[in-house]
Structure 1
Amino acid sequence: MKRWLARWGGTVLFAALFAPAVLAANAFDVYRDPSCGCCSAWVSYMRAQGYAVTVHQDQPMTAVKARFGVPSGAMSCHTAVIDGYVIEGHVPAEDIHRLLAERPDARGLAAPGMPMGSPGMEMGAHERYDVVLIGRDGSTRVYATHGPAA
């Protein structure tokens, strides 16, 4: 019995101490207009990727974007926040995984506009699009490129 407690007690203690941090790093707050269907599709996509998503639909979106420092050239339809980073628009989960693993000194990521073929925008012909890293100073640079080759 003592061996079992020694072996599993440490595991339980580790899980109790670190599970809240893991869950917090996996939780999104998404701000969106209630009438936007593609925002709902992106939320469903992120949930399917294993993220916990809380949706806020009562915020004026221009105020949300200003509060999180989204530059006008990077704006899209919805704004999300995860682990201190802003995620603007239809950013693929793989880019968010990379962001959270690399932890750059930045505001976050954006898929400017509403690119066809991005998560939540799968209808119609898919287009090539960039996901940009938003710097602390509001500057942007290409972080990843998606879609068919040009």
Structure 2
Amino acid sequence: MKPTSVFLLAFLLPALPASAQEIKVHLSPTCGCCKAWVRHLEQAGFTPRVVESSDMAAIKRATGVPDKVQSCHTAVIEGYFVEGHVPASDIRKLLKDRPAALGLAVPDMPVGSPGMEVPGVTPDKFETLLVSAGGQTVVYGKH
């Protein structure tokens, strides 16, 4: 390919923000809060690839999400799982820090977490947990 062709190709392709990263999101096709979390990721510059599943338990087993930190949806990015309504800022921090861990989790579905906002309701305080091999957890973010 000629250098001018490469330039034209690069010019014509849609530009993605430098921060755009693909994240694979497994969710139930009937879950509205999961779709709201996907919108949160998009607004933060991620590129979600949604995979609808009627057997989320199998997805969680396959990705190694311990029972005690499970929530409604499970995402995978760069070898880590992201379980539940984890803020995009915590995912960015995870990808920057690259800790020896399985992933991040916001157990349950705290009101006020991304995708779980309820107008007129005071948000819950919640924590993002870093999950290591064996299922041990430490607080990775407080919200």
Same fold at TM > 0.5: yes
1:133 is matched by which residue type in structure 2?
A: L
What is the aligned partner in structure 2 of residue 90 from structure 1? 85
The offset of 1:83, in angstroms, is 0.7
- Please say if residues 29 and 54 of structure 2, whose CA atoms lie closer than 8 Å, have aligned partners that are also in contact: no
Identity of aligned residues (%): 47
Moved segments of 4+, more than 6 Å: none
Residue 134 (structure 1) shift: 0.6
The alignment's TM-score, normalised by the length of structure 1, stands at 0.79
Q: How far apart are residue 73 of structure 1 and its match?
A: 1.1
The residue aligned with 2:137 is 140
1:38-75 CA-partner distances (Å, limit 9, x unpaired): 00000011011111111111351000001111111100
Of the three residues 62, 65, 68, the one matched with 2:57 is 62
In terms of fraction of residues, the more helix-rich structure is 1
2:41 is the alignment partner of 1:46: yes
Q: Secondary structure at the match of 1:106?
A: coil
Moved more, 54-63 or 105-114: 54-63
Of the candidates 108, 131, 142, which is equivalent to residue 113 of structure 1?
108
- 1:73, 1:58 → 2: CA distance? 21
Q: Does 1:26 align with 2:28?
A: no
TM-score, length-normalised on structure 2?
Answer: 0.83
1:127 to 124, 128, 132: 124
CA distance in 1, matches of 2:122, 2:29: 25
> Partners of 2:61 and 2:135 in 1: how far apart?
11
Contact 1:31 1:59 in 2 (8 A): no
* Residue ranges of structure 1 left out of the alignment (5+ in a row): 1-7, 16-22
3-state DSSP of counterpart to 1:105: coil
Residues 105-143 of structure 1, C-alpha deviation per residue, up to 9 Å, x if partnerless? 100000000010000001132000111001022111111
Query: Quick check: which has more Rg, 1 or 2?
Result: 1
Match of 2:13 in 1: none
Task: Report the AA paired with residue 102 of structure 2.
Answer: R
1:5 corresponds to which residue? none
